Amino acid sequence: MDNTFSVQQIAAGPCLSYLLESNGQALLIDPHITKAAYYRDLIRKKGLTLAGIVDTHTHADHISSAAILKAEYPCPLYMSPKAISSLGPKQVSAGDTIEFGSGHLEVWDAPGHTDDSIALVGGGCVFTGDVLMIGSVGRTDFQNGSPADMFNTLARFKELPDDTVVYPAHDYKGHKQSTIAQEKTQNPFMVETDKRAFIANAESKVLAKPFNMDQIIQVNREGSAKEIEFVTAEQAKERLDSGDWQLLDVRRPDEYEGIRILPSLNVPLDRLQSRMSELAGDKKWIVSCRSGNRAAAAAGMLLAAGMQNICVAKDSLNGWLKKGYPVVREKVPMSIERQVRTVAGSLVAIGTLLAIFASKWFLIVPMFVGCGLVFAGLTDSCMMAELLMKLPYNKNAMQKKAAGGGACSLDGGSSSGTCSMDSNNKDGSCAM
Ligand SMILES: [Fe+2]
């Protein structure tokens, strides 16, 4: 029987999901919570019928959108009989086949990372879940994972044809796919042939637990995943006034210092991942930024990390200001980085104009600025910034900040765990 299908890989950070397409029907593998709307759009635009959803195992590092999609599409959710799920999945195990269009995938039991792991094999591909990753394997230290089972599962993968394309559920290094031949020669866990050594190596790994793991597993088992809710400025204010919700502002500290809604907490978007633990718990967060874009991205991160009481202030600060709601404004100087950009750009423009209209010797100005910026980039020390910081208005601002007049930004790191057993990945991930 013809078994052809296309594979579209959809990444949400290190989490990889797959939309397989054959004769107008689709199969969705390991759907991620933040991509529910994307899958929906893709299926609609391509005019596909969703024939099935597969969760290769109960994910511990992110929430699956299987529950949301299963409620919308009349198709089965396939999982191992060992998976604990309130969604009534169609149980599949070794020897079963999942069909979609004219494509089909054979189900393999693939314990090791968890005891409820399955892999899907067919059409020259293997969807390995978190058992076999590119250059690594899934960790085995929770959800009834087992290094011995992992070794046996990998041994079975080695028997697949060398050109079989490997599609994992996670990758932490930006890889997209691999082959069995590549993994057999380059993946240290596949290269290992001594079962005892393999088990000893796996057991020697000390890895951080994925962040908020217990909560994520609970949501995935209950099928209680929610999509991001967007609220208007009126709704946001109502919720804040009720005292049940708190405002999380994800703008940069300099933006927050200039104008902010109070009370609120400032955790800039680029620091959110390392500060998750400070936001976890039973708190309900309204996420806000200037226009709503960064807030939506931040809410996606919080949601994927298992925090369910999250909503996004749709127009964020802009919407709040339009309604005339109260804010605190503070006159803050331009950041040093912006000052450098402004001064350097001005010098280049003025020098060039003078070179055109006065004397070519003025070309020395843009050339000097250019060399200075290259030097600053290479050495990470900027003379212009140092000079600017000596100006009185910058000095005053820094003194004020040192005295505690700054933003409510939280600093300090925290570890986030994921699923990897990669020896280079000490902050924890799905891989070894
Ligand atoms: Fe996993």
Q: Are 309 and 285 in contact (CB under 8 A)?
A: yes
| Confidence check: pLDDT of 413 > 50 | no
Confidence of residue 39 (pLDDT cuts 50, 70, 90): very high
CA 131 to ligand 1 centroid distance, Å: 8
**What is the 412 CA–ligand 1 centroid distance (Å)?**
27
pLDDT of amino acid 421: 67
- Average pLDDT rounded to a whole number, residues 340-349: 90
Asked whether the beta carbons of 80 and 109 are under 8 A apart, the reply is yes
Residue 130 Cα to ligand 1 middle (Å): 5
Q: Say how many Å lie between the CA of residue 22 and the centre of ligand 1.
A: 27
How far, in Å, is the centroid of ligand 1 from the Cα of 332? 45
Can you tell me the mean pLDDT for 31-57? 96
Give the confidence band of 405 by pLDDT, cuts at 50, 70, 90: very low
Copy the structure tokens of residue 428: 């924890």
Angle CA(259)–CA(305)–CA(221) in degrees, nearest 5? 145
- Ligand 1 mean position to 371 CA, how many Å? 48
Q: How many CB atoms lie within 10 A of CB 47?
A: 7
- Measure the CA–CA gap between 186 and 178, rounded to whole angstroms: 10
User: 6 alpha carbon to ligand 1 midpoint, in Å?
Assistant: 24
The first and second tokens of residue 71, run together, are 């409620």
Residue 281 DSSP SS3: coil
Report how far residue 279's alpha carbon sits from residue 265's, in angstroms, rounded to the nearest whole number. 10
pTM for the structure as a whole: 0.75
If you ran DSSP here, which 8-state letter would residue 334 be given?
P
CA–CA distances in Å: residue 335 to residues 19, 253, 338, 412? 44, 10, 5, 21
Indicate the range of 129-138, 156-165, 210-219, 407-416 predicted with least confidence: 407-416
**pLDDT attached to residue 401:** 56
Distance 102 CA to ligand 1 centre (A): 29
pLDDT at residue number 42: 97
Distance (Å) from CA 393 to ligand 1 centroid: 52
Task: Answer yes or no: is pLDDT of 395 > 80.
Answer: no
Please provide the average confidence, as pLDDT, over all residues in the chain: 89
| Gap from CA of 428 to ligand 1 centroid (Å) | 12
pLDDT of residue 398: 66
144 phi and psi, to 5 degrees?
55, 35
pLDDT at 200 over 70: yes
Q: Average of pLDDT values for 320-329?
A: 95
Read off the pLDDT band of 397 (50, 70, 90): low
User: Where do we find the tokens 């996420």?
Assistant: 287
Which pLDDT score is estimated for 402?
A: 53
Contact 210, 418 (CB under 8 A): yes
Domains and CATH numbers, the chain: 6-204 (3.60.15.10), 227-329 (3.40.250.10), 336-390 (no CATH)
C-alpha 57 – ligand 1 centre gap (Å): 7
How far, in Å, from the CA of 217 to the mean position of ligand 1?
A: 10
Question: Which residue, among 154, 115, 106, has the nearest Cα to 132 in the 3D structure?
Answer: 154
Quick one: which of 36, 19, 46 has its CA closest to 71? Answer: 36
What whole-number distance in Å separates Cα of residue 287 and Cα of residue 301?
A: 11
Q: Which of 103, 156, 147, 101 is nearest to 128 (CA)?
A: 156
| Strand-pair partners of 18 | 9, 29
Phi, psi for residue 92 in degrees, rounded to 5: -130, 140
Measured distance CA(414)–CA(278) in Å, rounded: 9
Whole-angstrom distance, CA of residue 291 vs CA of residue 400: 29
Tokens 């879940």 — which residue? 129
Cα 281 to middle of ligand 1, angstroms? 22
Write the burial class of residue 115 (CB in 10 Å: 0-12 exposed, 13-18 middle, 19+ buried).
middle
The region of weakest confidence among 19-23, 41-45, 271-275, 335-339 is: 335-339
E-state strands within 45-159: 49-54, 77-79, 90-91, 97-100, 103-109, 118-122, 125-129, 132-133, 136-137
State residue 130 phi and psi, 5-degree precision.
-105, 20
**Tokens 């109960």 — which residue?**
58
Separation CA 212–CA 353 (nearest Å): 57
What is the 390 CA–ligand 1 centroid distance (Å)? 51
> Coil, helix or strand for 49?
strand
Q: How far is the CA of 7 from the centre of ligand 1 (A)?
A: 21
- Ligand 1 centre and the CA of 226: distance in Å? 20
Q: pLDDT tens digits for 249-270?
A: 999 988 998 899 999 999 999 9
Q: Which residues contact 128 (CB under 8 A, 6 or more apart)?
A: 56, 110, 119, 157, 166, 167, 168, 169
Beta-carbon contacts of 273 under 8 Å, excluding residues fewer than 6 positions away, are 301, 416
Report yes or no: 95 and 107 within 8 Å, Cβ to Cβ: yes
User: How close is the Cα of 269 to the center of ligand 1, in Å?
Assistant: 25
Residue tagged 């060992």 (tokens): 82
Pull the structure tokens for residue 276. Answer: 């998750």
Tell how far the Cα of 59 is from the centroid of ligand 1, in angstroms. Answer: 5
Residue 430 CA to ligand 1 center (angstroms) comes to: 5
Q: Are 120 and 126 in contact (CB under 8 A)?
A: yes
pLDDT at 198 over 50: yes
